Structure 1
Amino acid sequence: MYFYAARQPILDRDKNLIGYELLFRDGVKNVFPEIDGNEATTRLIEGSQFNFGLEDLTGDKPAYINFTLDTLLKGYPTLLGKDTVVVEILETIQPGKRLLAIVKDLKEKGYTMALDDYIHQPVWRHFYPFVDIIKIDFLSCDIDTIKQIVADLKPYPHLKLLAEKVETYEVYHQALELGFDYFQGFFFSKPEMIQSKALPPSQMALAELLYETSTLDMDLKKITEVFERDVNLSYKLLRYSNSAAFVRRSEISTIKQALIVLGANEIKKLLSLLFAAQMSADKPTELIRLSLTRARFSELLAISHGQFKDTGMAFLTGMMSLMDAILDESMQSVMKKLPLSNEIKAALLNDEGLLASYLNLVKFYEQGNWPAANELTEKLALGGKVPDAYHEAISWVNEQMQIMIDE
C-alpha cells in the first residue's frame, strides 16, 4: 500500500518558510472527497509514521495537520512529536468543554495549537489562552468580518494570524496591512511589482562549475546537472545567452542547449563574472525549493508520458514557473529577457500546450486539488505513476537543497 500526501507551504511576512500543511489523498483513483475527515487524518498520521515519513515531506519544519474531534479524543496528535506538528482544529468541530479540555491538555504537553478556517464566535474566547494560531480563509470570509476579528483579537497579542487562500498580490498586501503574521496560498506565484531583485547563485554550485569548466574536456552532462539544480544560475545563464553578443539560430528549450549555444569560452567568462560579483543577499529558499520541485516533477511526467524527445523542456518550464515571484517582476517581463522557446513561453504566459498541462498537474498536487489532478491525469493517460513522480521529485529536491545548505 502506498502513502499519498501533498504539502502546501506556509510563509511568514518575509516569505520565509515556517511549515507545510499536509493534504491527504487516497491513491490515484480515490480522491479526498470520498473519505471522511476521521479516516483522512488517521491514514495521514499512519502513513507519515510508517511509510513516507514527515521529515521527507516537511524537512525540519512542522507539519500542519487537520484533526477531527474523534481523532483528538483518541489522542492521535501525541503520536507525533510536539515539535513536528501543528495541531489544526477543524472548523466543523463545535467549541465546548470537552474540546477545551483536550486543547488545554495538548498545550500543556507543548503542542502548538491552531484553529482552522476560523468562524468568529464569542465562545472561542475561552480557547484563546491555549491557542497559538488562528487561520482565516480570505475566500470565504468578507473583509469587514476579518477586520472585526483582527480588532477583537488585539487583547491577545500571543495569537498569530494566518491568512488562508491568499491567491493574489492584492489579497496578500491587504492581509499584510491588517497585521497577519503567516500566509498560505499561491500569492507567491503571482508577481509583486515592487522592485527587481538581483539574486546570488549558490556559491557551492559556482565553485563546482568553475572546477568542471577548468578541465580541457568539459563534461557537458555534469555542468548541465549543476545548472539544473540552481534556479538563479539557470536564470542568469538564460539571460546571458540572450545577449546581443550571441547570434542564435533558434530559441532555447533546455539548459543543455543554452550551454551549447554559448560554448566553452563564454561559459567560463560567465562563471568568472558571477563569482566575482557574488553578493550576500538572501535567497527566497522556499520559492527555489518549489521551483525545483516543479521542474523535477514536470520532467518525470514528461519522461513517463513519452511525448517529448528532450524532456529537459519540461524541467525548464517548471523551473521558470516561479521566476516572476523570485524576481518580483511580471512573467511577461521575465519572458522578454529570456531566449526561451515559444512552446515554453506559451505554457508560462498563456497556459497553452502539453508543457502547461504538466505544470497544471504539478499545481493541482501543490494545492491538494485531487479531483482536478485525477481528471487531468486521466486526460493525459499517465496512469498510476503520477504520485510516485511527486514523491520522487520531493526527495530529489531535498537532496539538492541539502547540498546548497552544506555549501
Structure 2
Amino acid sequence: MHFYAARQPILDKHKKLFAYELLFRDSLDNVFPDIDGDEATSKMIEASQFTMGISELTGNKPAFINFTLETLSQGYPEMLTTEEVVIEILETVKPGKRLLALCKDLHQKGYTLALDDYEHQSVWAHFYPFISIIKIDIQQSDLAEIKQVIGAISAFPHIKLLAEKVETYEEYNQMLNLGFEYFQGYFFAKPEMMKTKSLSPSQMAMAELLYETSKTELDLNNITGVFERDVSLSYKLLRYANSAIFRRRSEISTIKQALVILGSAELKRFIGLMFAVNANPDKPSELINLAMTRAKFCEFVAQELPSKFDVSIAFLTGLLSMIDAILDEEMSIVLEKLPLSQDIKEPLLTKEGLMADVIKLVACIEHANWDNTNDIIEKLTLDKDKVIELYNQSLIWADEQTQAISE
C-alpha cells in the first residue's frame, strides 16, 4: 500500500514551523471526495502505522489529522501518541453530547484538539474547555465573523486561533494583528514585496559557483579560485567534505582535494543548498525546506523520465524554483543577476518544457491538487505510485538536510 498524502506547513506567529496538516487521498485514481471522511481518516491511520510513520512524514513535528465523529468513536486517535497528532474535528461534525464526551475523554488523556473550518455557534461554548486550537478559513469568513469568534473565546485564553488559506503577507499581517497564533497557507512561499537590491559579495560568489557547476564540464581551477576568494565558503566546504556522512578515512585539508573527492553531483547539491540557505536568513526555514524538497524531487524524477535529463540541472532548477520568494523579487529580476545556464533559466521563466512540468507536478502535490497531479503524471508517462514514493523520500531528505544545516 502506498501513502498518498500531502503535507501543508503550519507556522507560528514568528513564521517558525509549528506543525503540518496531512491531507490524505486513497490514490491518484480515487481522489477525495470519492471516498468519505471516515475512510480517508481510517486509511491515513492505517498507512501511518503500517506503511510510513507519521514522524517520518512530518520531521517529528505534530501532524494535524482530520477525524469524523465515527473515527473518533472508533478510538483511532489513540493509535497515535499525544506528541504525534493534533486531532482535527472536521467541520461536518455536529456538536452534540456524544462528541462532547469524546472530546472530554481525549483532552483528559493529553491529546490536543482543534476545530476545523470553524463557524461560530453558541453551542460550541460547551466544548471550549477541551479545545486548544480553532481553525478559521479566512477566505470563507469575513472580518465581522472572525471578530465574533474572537469575542466568543475571550474567556478561554488557552484557545489559540489558526488562520487557514493565508495566501499573502497582507493577510498574514492582518490576522497577526487580530491575535492569531498560527498560520496555514502558502503566503511564505511568495515574494513578500517587490524591490530591487544587489547581491552581497558572498551571494555573488555562490551565484558564480552555481554557474560553474551548471556547466556540463566542471572547471576545477575556476571553482577552486572562487572558493579561495571567500573564507566562509571555503570553511563550509571543508567542514561538509569532512562530515561524518561521507565516512572518510583521512582528513581533507585543501579546497581542490575536497572538490575532487566530493565529485560533481555532490558538489552541485552543496553549492545549491548553500545559496538557498544563505540567500535570505530572515525567511522562514520551511521555505528553504520546501525548496530542498523540490530540488530532490526534480532530481529523482529526472532519473525516471523516458527522455533522460541531467539530474544536476534538475536539482538546481527545482531548488531555484523558489528563489523569487527567498529573495523577495520577481523571478525574471533574480535570474538576470544569476549567471546560470539557459537549461535552468528557461523553464523557470517560460513555465514551459520538461522541467517546468516537473516543477508544476511537485507544486500540485504540495497543494494536494490531485486532479492536476494525475494529469501531469500521465503527460510525463510516469508511474503514479513511484512518483508519490519519490515525493515522500524527498520530504525526508529535505528534513534531514535542514536539520544538518541548522546544527
Question: What TM-score results when the alignment is normalised by the length of structure 1?
Answer: 0.81
The 3 A distance-change label for structure 1 pair 218 and 320 is: closer
- Please list, as runs of the form range in 1=range in 2, the aligned pairs for 1:141-290 lying within 5 A after superposition: 141-193=141-193, 207-208=239-240, 211=252, 213-216=254-257, 218-219=259-260, 221-222=262-263, 224-229=265-270, 231=272, 233-235=274-276, 284-290=284-290
Structure 2: any 5+ residue segments left out of the alignment? 204-231, 243-251
Q: Hey, what's the Cα distance between the residues in 1 that align with 2:353 and 2:81?
A: 44
Cα displacement (A) at 1:297 = 0.8
After TM superposition, the structure 1 stretch with the greater mean CA deviation from structure 2, 199-208 or 212-221, is: 199-208
The question of whether the paired residues in 2 share the 8 Å contact of 1:193 and 1:330 is answered with no
Q: Secondary structure at the match of 2:155?
A: coil
Cα displacement (A) at 1:400 = 2.5
Letter in 2 for 1:208: Y
Cα displacement (A) at 1:2 = 2.1
Q: Hey, what's the Cα distance between the residues in 2 that align with 1:236 and 1:109?
A: 40
Q: What does residue 338 of structure 1 align with?
A: 338
Cα displacement (A) at 1:70 = 0.1
The question of whether the paired residues in 1 share the 8 Å contact of 2:114 and 2:131 is answered with yes
Q: What does residue 382 of structure 1 align with?
A: 382
After TM superposition, the structure 1 stretch with the greater mean CA deviation from structure 2, 211-220 or 381-390, is: 211-220
The 3 A distance-change label for structure 1 pair 65 and 339 is: same
1:396 aligns with 2:397: yes
The question of whether the paired residues in 1 share the 8 Å contact of 2:13 and 2:176 is answered with yes
The 3 A distance-change label for structure 1 pair 383 and 227 is: closer
Q: Hey, what's the Cα distance between the residues in 1 that align with 2:387 and 2:42?
A: 23
The question of whether the paired residues in 1 share the 8 Å contact of 2:13 and 2:181 is answered with yes
The question of whether the paired residues in 1 share the 8 Å contact of 2:276 and 2:288 is answered with no
Q: What does residue 66 of structure 1 align with?
A: 66
Q: Secondary structure at the match of 2:172?
A: helix
Cα displacement (A) at 1:223 = 6.1
Q: Hey, what's the Cα distance between the residues in 2 that align with 1:127 and 1:204?
A: 52
Q: What does residue 5 of structure 1 align with?
A: 5
After TM superposition, the structure 1 stretch with the greater mean CA deviation from structure 2, 338-347 or 17-26, is: 338-347
Q: Which string of whole-angstrom CA distances, capped at 9 and with x for unpartnered residues, describes residues 80-134 of structure 1? A: 1011100000000001111111111111111011001111111111111111111
Q: What does residue 322 of structure 1 align with?
A: 322
The question of whether the paired residues in 2 share the 8 Å contact of 1:191 and 1:331 is answered with no
The question of whether the paired residues in 2 share the 8 Å contact of 1:364 and 1:372 is answered with yes
Cα displacement (A) at 1:13 = 1.4
The question of whether the paired residues in 2 share the 8 Å contact of 1:202 and 1:230 is answered with no
After TM superposition, the structure 1 stretch with the greater mean CA deviation from structure 2, 302-311 or 117-126, is: 302-311
The 3 A distance-change label for structure 1 pair 103 and 204 is: farther
The 3 A distance-change label for structure 1 pair 338 and 112 is: same
The question of whether the paired residues in 2 share the 8 Å contact of 1:20 and 1:62 is answered with yes
Letter in 1 for 2:72: L
Letter in 2 for 1:95: P
Cα displacement (A) at 1:229 = 4.8
The question of whether the paired residues in 2 share the 8 Å contact of 1:163 and 1:182 is answered with yes
1:100 aligns with 2:100: yes
The 3 A distance-change label for structure 1 pair 218 and 94 is: closer
Q: Give identity over the alignment, percent.
A: 52
The 3 A distance-change label for structure 1 pair 139 and 320 is: same
Cα displacement (A) at 1:364 = 1.3
Q: What does residue 257 of structure 1 align with?
A: none
Q: Hey, what's the Cα distance between the residues in 2 that align with 1:287 and 1:60?
A: 17
The question of whether the paired residues in 2 share the 8 Å contact of 1:63 and 1:86 is answered with yes
Letter in 2 for 1:391: N
